[in-house]
């Protein structure tokens, strides 16, 4: 059975993109900035990066260890490739959250008038 917390997290998730950040409420924009800051902290965390790279290297080692071209081995190659793709997609989602945060911050930063003229 699905945990109630998982259902609540799914129902309360923030779906932000470049098309809707201009129409978001201030509370939603604050959430975008908070999520982006947490994603940025993860991306800058050296321990996190080490574990991600170690995981990717383990998958690559597993791919190299497959020598035959049987149906089972080919299925294993596909599964391992999907794992690599999944971790890359996860990292891309973190980068997207940071990008959206930066866009919101840029959007909220007032532009100072040019007084040199």
Is 86 a domain residue? yes
Kindly state the helix (H) or strand (E) to which residue 16 belongs, with its residue range: none
Confidence (pTM)? 0.81
Using the predicted structure, report yes or no on whether residue 74 has a pLDDT greater than 90.
Answer: yes
For residues 81-107, average pLDDT: 95
Is 71 a domain residue? yes
Domain count, the chain: 1
Tokens of 109: 């930063």
Q: Please tell me the predicted confidence (pLDDT) of residue 61.
A: 96
Share of the chain above pLDDT 70, in %: 96
Is 15 a domain residue? no
Which has the closest alpha carbon to 85: 73, 93, 42, 51?
93
Share of the chain above pLDDT 90, in %: 68
Q: Please tell me the predicted confidence (pLDDT) of residue 57.
A: 96
* pLDDT per position as a tens digit, 10-66: 777 778 888 888 888 999 999 999 999 999 999 999 999 999 999 999 999 999 999
What value does the mean pLDDT of the chain take?
90
Which has the closest alpha carbon to 16: 107, 83, 85, 111?
107
Q: Please tell me the predicted confidence (pLDDT) of residue 17.
A: 81
Q: 55 lies in which domain range?
A: 25-108
Residue 33: count other Cβ atoms within 10 Å of its Cβ. Answer: 17
Q: 49-82 burial, b for 16+ CB within 10 Å, e for fewer?
A: eeebeeeeeebeeeeeeeeeeeeeeeeeeeebee
Is 76 a domain residue? yes
Is 33 a domain residue? yes
């Amino acid at each position: 059975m699905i945990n109630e917390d998982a259902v609540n997290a799914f129902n309360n998730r923030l779906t932000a993109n470049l098309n809707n950040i201009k129409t978001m409420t201030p509370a939603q924009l604050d959430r975008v900035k908070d999520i982006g800051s947490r994603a940025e902290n993860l991306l800058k965390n050296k321990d996190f990066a080490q574990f991600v790279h170690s995981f990717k290297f383990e998958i690559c080692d597993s791919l190299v260890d497959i020598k035959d071209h049987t149906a089972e081995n080919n299925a294993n190659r596909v599964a391992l490739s999907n794992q690599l793709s999944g971790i890359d997609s996860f990292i891309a989602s973190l980068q997207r959250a940071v990008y959206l945060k930066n866009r919101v911050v840029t959007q909220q930063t007032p532009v100072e008038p040019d007084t040199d003229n």
